[in-house]
Chains A and B, each alone.
Chain A
Amino acid sequence: MSDTFFSAAPHWAWFIILYFFVGGIAGGASLLAAVADWFGGPEDRPVVRTGYNVAAVGAILSGALLTIDLGRPLRFWHMLFQSANFPTIMFKGWSPISFGAWGLLLFGLFSVLAALGGMAEEGRLSNPALRAVGGAVRGGLAKLVGGVAGLLGVFIAGYTGILLAVTNRPVWADSPWLGALFIASGMSTGAAALILLAPRRGATEQSLARLSAFDTRALVVELLVLVLFLASLGSVNRVWVGFWGLVLLVGVVGLGILAPLRLHMQRRPLASAAKLVLLGGFLLRLATIFVSEGIEHYRVTAGM
Chain B
Amino acid sequence: MPEPMGFFTDTTVCIGCKACEVACKEWNQLPAENGGVGELSGDSYDNTRKLDGIHWRHVRFIEQFKAPYDGRWLMMSDVCKHCVQAGCLEVCPTGAIIRTDFDTVVIQSDVCNGCRACIAACPFGVIDVNPVSGTAQKCTLCYDRLKVGLEPACSKACPTDSIQFGSIAELRTRAHKRVDQLKAQGVKAELYGADPDGALGGLNSFYLLIDEPEVYGLPRHPQLPSRNLTKSATFSAASAAVLGVLALVGLRKRRMDEQSRGGGGAGNV
Complex partner residue of B135 from A71, A84, A166, A167, CB under 8 angstroms: A71
| A interface list, Cβ under 8 A from B | 1, 3-12, 31-32, 35-36, 39-41, 69-73, 75-76, 78-79, 82-84, 90, 92, 94-98, 101, 154, 158-159, 161-163, 165-169, 172-173, 176-184, 187, 206, 210, 213-214, 217-218, 221, 225, 296-298, 300-302, 304
Complex A-B: 6 CB contacts under 8 Å? A10-B120, A76-B113, A84-B111, A95-B90, A167-B225, A217-B246
Once the chains bind, are B43 and A304 in contact (CB under 8 Å)? yes
Once the chains bind, are A97 and B238 in contact (CB under 8 Å)? no
Known: A3-B222, A177-B235, A213-B250. A94 touches B124 (CB 8 A): no
| B interface list, Cβ under 8 A from A | 43-44, 49-52, 60, 87, 90-96, 110-117, 119-129, 133-136, 214-223, 225-226, 228-229, 231-236, 238-240, 242-244, 246-248, 250-252, 254-255, 258
Task: Give bound CA distance, A176 to B230, whole Å.
Answer: 9
Which residue, of A4, A36, A76, A83, has the highest number of chain B Cβ atoms within 10 A? A83
Complex interface: chain A residues within 8 A of B217 (CB): 6, 297-298, 300-301
Complex interface: chain A residues within 8 A of B119 (CB): 8-11
CB distance from B193 to the nearest CB of A (A): 13
Task: Give the dominant DSSP class at A's interface.
Answer: helix
Task: Give bound CA distance, A10 to B114, whole Å.
Answer: 10
Task: Give bound CA distance, A72 to B234, whole Å.
Answer: 33
Task: Give bound CA distance, A27 to B127, whole Å.
Answer: 32
Complex interface: chain A residues within 8 A of B233 (CB): 162, 179
Once the chains bind, are A75 and B113 in contact (CB under 8 Å)? yes
Once the chains bind, are B91 and A8 in contact (CB under 8 Å)? no
Complex interface: chain B residues within 8 A of A214 (CB): 246-247, 250
Known: A3-B219, A168-B223. A36 touches B251 (CB 8 A): yes
Once the chains bind, are B113 and A72 in contact (CB under 8 Å)? yes
CB distance from A235 to the nearest CB of B (A): 14
Once the chains bind, are B239 and A180 in contact (CB under 8 Å)? yes
Complex interface: chain B residues within 8 A of A96 (CB): 91, 229
